[in-house]
Amino acid sequence: MSSDVPQIILIGVIVILAIVLVILGVQIFFLIKESKETLKKVNKILDGASGIVGNASFLSNPLVKILIGTALTFFVGKKKIKEERSKPQQIKEEKVRRFFRRS
């Protein structure tokens, strides 16, 4: 009877481990399936974007390039100003450099 206890414990551990591995396998299967669907959606979005950009002959116009560059510069500058305003202002103490020591 004393030799049966380790065998029962070992069988119990093996059964629990097998159940955990089956659950893990099913979860990995669903994860791979979901990632496949996500990649299909991303592919559709990128195909649509490449169609819009690829057919955009208006970008060859120099005036349009200047307007786009100006708009991008404006928005980037606006973002930097917001970031600077959101930071707490720190007063920096400047070190005074002296040529001669005062006694």
pLDDT, tens digit (0-9, with 9 covering 90-100), for 68-81: 777 777 777 766 66
- Tell whether the model's pLDDT for residue 103 goes beyond 60: no
More confident residue, 48 or 30: 30
Higher pLDDT, 34 or 88: 34
Q: What would you measure as the largest C-alpha separation in the chain, in angstroms?
A: 96
- Record the tokens describing residue 69, joined without a space: 């560059």
Cα–Cα distance between 75 and 69 in angstroms, integer? 10
Q: How confident is the model at residue 26 (pLDDT cuts 50, 70, 90)?
A: very high
